[in-house]
Structure 1
Amino acid sequence: MTGKPAFAGWSILLYLLFSSNGRASAQQLTEMSGQAQGTYFIVKYLADDTNSLRPQIDSIFALIDNSLSLYQPGSLINQFNEGIEVKMDAHMAHVIQRSLEISKATMGAFDITVKPLVDAWGFGVHKPAVQTIPGQDTLKQILRYVGYRNLRLQGKRLTKRHKDVQIDCNGIAQGYTTDVIARFLEQKGISNYLVDVGGELRSSGRNQRGLIWTVGIETPDASQSAVPAQAVLALDNKAITTSGNYRRFFEQGGVRFAHSINPVTGEALHSNIIAVTVLAKDAITADGYDNALILMGVEKGLAFVKAHPEYGLDAYFIYKDKDGKIQTAFSDGFKQLTILE
């Protein structure tokens, strides 16, 4: 598990599919976009009131950055990483609690204490001029302090078992931010919207044509360069996120090492998996589980989804077969929502 900075990993392409079968909304479509949390954001919604919500949405980003951004000096997460404990705000408390739940559910495949491993592989905040494979002795030493059981929640206090334990919430924070903005819109009486923070999306209601919001997923060619969407699906009051490895990687000895780090072995992903897209009821859930599923791989990942219907997940894998050809595999629920594939 690791973070998802600007355009890291995978892109989900936003589509508004027009059809004569849809009834146009009498409400006005408002669109806004910009840069935040090291990536882009897009917010689209329908409302009678056309007054801009941009200042409030910018404030949401700032508050969450002050809590969870590794790039923000003095943020709560940086205070924790530099010390032994921190008094959490509501944002950090929610993300930490959900992260620990997903860690337990995936037996540690998702784990926010992976930060020292992310740094060792050169994918952290401070990137080396040349990325190289860390030595086994280095990884063995780091792994002594990696593991979600090293964290303790005591009310609003987050503590650690050892001073060298550090956390990185980038693999789940953008999904959480997407949910926070969605809830903000709902509090404003807005029921038709689509929120996209760095490729982590959540929708509600219909677009301006009266149709369910739809998204398209890129499928790369053999060189793993993105090409136009090959799968389009209806995002009916759901969230969708993606963890992918064709944009953040380095190569050494003919092997491509990607930014998804296995918190159990300490190894950077170098399998045939290119990306996994996950559907869930909210973006924080999808965002957390997509990190775990890409490490599990196609067979184990789809088996996990099928074995745990209580998590409300569906998944779409893109991978290379033994001949190097791009293939896809998906859960039954994902197929049912697909409009074009």
Structure 2
Amino acid sequence: MMALSNVVNAYRKRPALLAFFCLGSALLLSACGQKNEPWRFSGPTMGTQYHVTVVPKESYSCSQAEFDEKIRQSLVQTNQQMSHYIENSELNGLSRLPVGESVTISSDMEKVLRLSERLYTLSNGAFDITVGPLVNLWGFGPKSSPEDAVPSDEQIHAAMALGGGDSLQVSSGKFSKSKAVELNLSAVAKGYGADKVAEALEACGAQDYLVEVGGELLLKGLSPRGSAWKIAIEKPGNSLAGQSMQRLLQVSDKGVATSGDYRNYFEKEGVRYSHTIDPRTGKPITHALASVTVLAPSSAEADAWATVITVVGPEEGMRLAEQEKLPVFMLVKTKSGFKESYSSAFATYVQ
């Protein structure tokens, strides 16, 4: 899921926020108009914004100001670990690590790398954190060629040769690689950041909260109204103005992410090129999936799975959703508009 930011995701840019906040970029439906004002925290992080809503209680071990500071500290730490823009980040250190050498990594990095490894395997390479050279080649990354330049097959094959998600090894807190690849965690870092903020909140006693980092959500307990959190799935369109709701969900104790590319593409000589790159082909996707919403136990998992399904498309994406028992909601482009499709596990969320 995506906030409107300047940071380019390693795979795609995402549609507008799934949850809409009263205080700014969106409307968080569950928290509007309640008598007891929730605590709200927001600010910049990871090239985007974060928003946190906490239902206040006297039993908390932290003051409102302490909550604010702990949220900020948590996000600073995650950014220092996962950013490919910060020169001395832990991630960039792994990218520079010589082939064959081993280095100790943080427990957070190990968790994210293991999740990435698992999804790389389950998706047959559709989720690949070494996809950066292809993203740059197509003009969507931090070291990009002109965005409207279509690379040759030779250039694509050369860029694909620079990647390789199967060249990474993680074992007992150690990392090594068998190939000189660069890592990019943009498809999972913001979701993991939301999970880490949640840990900080719970350390202070909070059990009812919503965390959003760059559009990735983690919802816990009850909203300020005493019911499940209500979030809206945006109806696809070409304009940020006049956004409308496709579905209203009631969600608690889940991570939520929406991914799609219907606003993000360029055209060259009458051909439309998506910003979503399939690492297996080295080219933009061509299927009809407009957006996908994924619910998972953590925000990091939802974030990563949304990427996987966006890359593989509606048919393979639904097969994976059923296989993994994931609640997944899709909007698929047709000649007459958008068709809804959802997995068996999502049926309980349909109102």
The verdict on a shared fold, with TM-score over 0.5 as the criterion, is yes
Match of 1:317 among 306, 330, 345: 330
- For 1:197 and 1:174, the matched residues in 2 are separated by 6
What SS class does the counterpart of residue 81 from structure 1 fall into?
A: helix
How far the C-alpha of 1:19 sits from its partner, in A, is 10
Q: Which letter does structure 2 place at the counterpart of 1:191?
A: Q
Query: Residue 106 of structure 2 contacts residue 173 of structure 2 at CA under 8 Å; is this kept in 1?
Result: yes
CA apart distance, 1:326: 2.1
Matched, 1:10 2:15: yes
Partner of 2:53: 44
- Cα-Cα RMSD: 2.4
- Is 1:120 matched with 2:137? yes
Aligned twin of 1:81: 95
Structure 1 residues 19, 32: closer, same or farther in 2, change over 3 A?
closer
Return the alpha-carbon distance in structure 1 between the equivalents of residues 307 and 224 of structure 2: 33
* Cα distance, 1:25 vs structure 2: 8.4
* Paired residue secondary structure (1:43): strand
* C-alpha distance in 2 between matches for 1:287 and 1:156: 23
Asked whether 1:256 is paired with 2:272, we answer yes
SS of 1:101's partner is: helix
Residue 214 of structure 1: CA displacement?
A: 1.0
Cα displacement string for residues 207-226 of structure 1 (whole angstroms, at most 9, x for unaligned residues): 111111110011123x4656
Question: Paired residue for 2:84?
Answer: 70
Residue 106 (structure 1) aligned to one of 123, 129, 137? 123
Q: 1:299 aligns with which of 300, 304, 315?
A: 315
Aligned pair 1:133/2:145, yes or no? no
Q: 1:10–1:199: 8 Å Cα contact kept in structure 2? A: no
Q: Residues 197-243 of structure 1: CA distance to partner in whole angstroms, max 9, x if unpaired?
A: 1111111111111111110011123x465621121101121111012
* Matching of residues 213-252 of structure 1 within 5 Å: 213-221=229-237, 223=238, 227-252=243-268
Q: Secondary structure at the match of 1:131?
A: coil
Q: Which residue of 1 aligns with 2:219?
A: 203
Partners of 1:231 and 1:251 lie apart in 2 by: 30
Find the aligned partners of 1:18 and 1:87 in 2 and give their Cα distance.
Answer: 43
CA distance in 1, matches of 2:319, 2:153: 31
Change (3 A) 1:264 1:18: closer
Q: Pick the aligned partner of 1:185 from 188, 201, 212.
A: 201
Give the TM-score taking structure 2 as reference length. 0.86
Deviation at 1:3, TM superposition (A): 5.7
Deviates more, 1:198-207 or 1:119-128: 119-128
Summarize deviations over 1:231-256 as a string: whole Å, max 9, x none.
11011211110121134322223232
Asked if 1 retains the 8 angstrom alpha-carbon contact of 2:137 and 2:144, the reply is: no
- Tell me the CA shift for residue 181 of structure 1: 0.8
CA contact (8 A) 2:138 2:144 kept: no
Look up the SS of the partner of 1:33 in the other structure.
strand
Give distance in 2, aligned partners of 1:16 and 1:243. Answer: 21
Distance 1:88 1:264, change over 3 A: same
State the distance in 2 between where 1:120 and 1:174 align: 24
Contact 1:13 1:229 in 2 (8 A): no
1:250 is paired with a residue whose SS is: strand
Q: Could you list the runs of 5+ residues in structure 2 that have no partner in the other structure?
A: 1-6, 21-27
Q: Count residues with an aligned counterpart.
A: 327
In structure 2, distance between residues paired with 1:146 and 1:129: 21
State the Cα distance separating 1:277 from its structure 2 match: 0.9
The alignment partner of 1:112 has SS state of: coil
Distance 2:274 2:95 in 1: 24
Distance 1:328 1:282 in 2: 24
